[in-house]
Chains A and B, each alone.
Chain A
Amino acid sequence: MAWLKEFTKGFIKENPVFVMALGLCPTLAVSSSVINAIGMGLAATFVLVFSNMFISLIKNLIPSKIRIPAYIVVIASFVTIVDMVMHAYLPAIHKSLGLFIPLIVVNCIILGRAEAFASKNNVFLSILDGLGMGLGFTLALVVIGSIREILGAGQFLGMNVLPATYKPMLVAILAPGAFIVMGLLMSLMNLTKKK
C-alpha cells in the first residue's frame, strides 16, 4: 500500500505548511476567512496535481541544467488556466484572492514537490503526491482561517457562531493576527511531535 502512504503523508506527517514551513505567504495572506482559504487551497491543489503529473511525464526530456525554468513554465501555464477559470466562474473569490492567484507560480510548495518528488517518481505516484500535498495545504489554510475568522469576526463561513455578546478581536483578521496564530500553531505542532 505504498501509494496510500504517498497520498496521506501530506495531511499531517509532512504537512507542507506546519511541518515544512513552505508556502507561508499565501497561507497567511488569504486565511482571514474560511471561504478564501478553501478557494486558495483548491486552486493550489489543482495546480499541484497537474504540474506534478506533467513534470513527471516529461522528466526525461528536460536537461537537468535548465530544469527549474522548465518547471516554472509548466507551473505558470497551469496557474494561468486556474486564473482564467476562476475569473470566469468564481468572480467573487477571484477578486478577494486578487494578487495571490498569479502568485501561486512562486508558491514554494509546488516547485518543491516538482523538484523533490515528481522529477523522480512515476505519473501515478506524482498525481497522488500532488493531491495529498494540495489537500494538506488546504487543511492547514482552513484550520488557520477558521481560528482567525471565529476570533476576529465571531463567524464561521459567514455565519455567526459566537453569542452576540462576544466582541470580535479585530486584530485576528488583520496582519499581526496571522503571524501570531501561525506561530502558536507551529509551536503546538512541535509539542505534539515530541510525545
Chain B
Amino acid sequence: MEFAGKILFMAVMAIFVQNFVLMRFLGLCPYIGVSKKLDSALGMGMAVIFVMTMASTFTWLIQTYLLVPLHIEFLQTIAFILTIASLVQLVEMVIQKTAPALYKSLGVFLPLITTNCAVLGVAILNIQSEYNFIFAILNGLFAGIGFTLVLVLMAGIRERLDRAELPASMKGMPIAMIVAGCMALAFLGFSGLKF
C-alpha cells in the first residue's frame, strides 16, 4: 500500500505540481512549435512519452553500471545525450515504417526530440534525485504524460485562438507565450496540494 501511495504521489508531483513545461521550463520548443494542431500535438506527445520512458531506463542503467563503476561520472552529459540521440533515431525509424501519416505530420520535430531538453532533463533529474530503477522509469513516464497533457491543452486553445481577433503584433509566438503564462498561473494552484 505504501508503495502505491508513493507512486501516486510521484505521478501528481510530476504531472501537475512540478509540470515539466510550465513549472520547470523544460521542453518549451516543441511546446510552442508543435501546438498548432491537435492531432500533431497528440502524436508528438506520444513520441515524447515513449522516448522519455526509454531514456530514463537506459540512462539509469548506463549511470549505475557503466559510469559509476568506472568513475567517469563527469562524462554523464556526453553519455546521456548520445543515448537519447540513438533512441530518437530508433523511434523515428519505427514511426516512419509503421505510421507514415504520423511521420509526415510530425515532420521536422521528431529529430528535434533529441534537443528537447525535457528528455535530457528527466534523465539528469532521475540521477540527481537518487531514484531507484523502478522510480526512475516511472518518473520518465509521468513527466512525459505531464508534457503531453499541457501540449494537448495548448493545441486545443490555439486552434480556437486562430479565429480570434488579435492585434497584429500579438499574433503567433507572443500570444502563445501569454496563453502559456495563464496556464502556468492555473498550474501554480496545484502547488497548494498537500499530502
Contacts and interface: CB of A to CB of B under 8 A. Distances in A.
Interface of A: 21-22, 24-26, 28-29, 68-69, 72-73, 76-77, 79-80, 83-84, 99, 102-103, 105-108, 111, 171, 174-180, 182-184, 186-188, 190-191, 194
A177 B81 contact: no
A29 B29 CA distance: 13
27 contacts: A21-B32, A29-B25, A68-B114, A69-B82, A72-B81, A72-B82, A72-B85, A76-B78, A77-B78, A79-B77, A80-B75, A83-B77, A99-B121, A99-B124, A99-B125, A105-B120, A106-B115, A107-B115, A111-B115, A176-B184, A178-B184, A179-B184, A180-B181, A183-B181, A186-B173, A186-B177, A190-B169
A101 to B, nearest CB: 9
A54 B3 CA distance: 49
A176 B78 contact: no
A106 B182 CA distance: 26
Given A25-B27, A176-B184, A80 B32 contact: no
Interface of B is mostly: helix
Interface string B82-119: 10010000000000000000000000000100111100
Contacts of A184: 174, 178
Q: Which 5 A-B pairs have the closest CB atoms?
A: A183-B177, A179-B181, A29-B25, A180-B181, A187-B174
A25 B25 contact: yes
Contact of B128 (A73, A99, A174): A99
B185 A24 contact: no
A175 B169 contact: no
A106 B120 contact: yes
B176 interface: yes
B124 A102 contact: yes
B151 interface: no
A105 B81 contact: yes
Interface residues of B, number: 45
A11 B187 CA distance: 34
B170 interface: yes
A163 B111 CA distance: 50
Interface of B: 22-29, 32, 74-78, 81-82, 85, 111, 114-117, 120-121, 124-125, 128, 167-171, 173-178, 180-182, 184-185, 187-188
Given A25-B26, A69-B82, A183 B75 contact: no
A25 B120 CA distance: 13
Contacts of A106: 81, 114-117, 120
Contacts of B85: 68-69, 72
A174 B173 contact: no
Given A72-B81, A99-B125, A106-B115, A80 B74 contact: yes
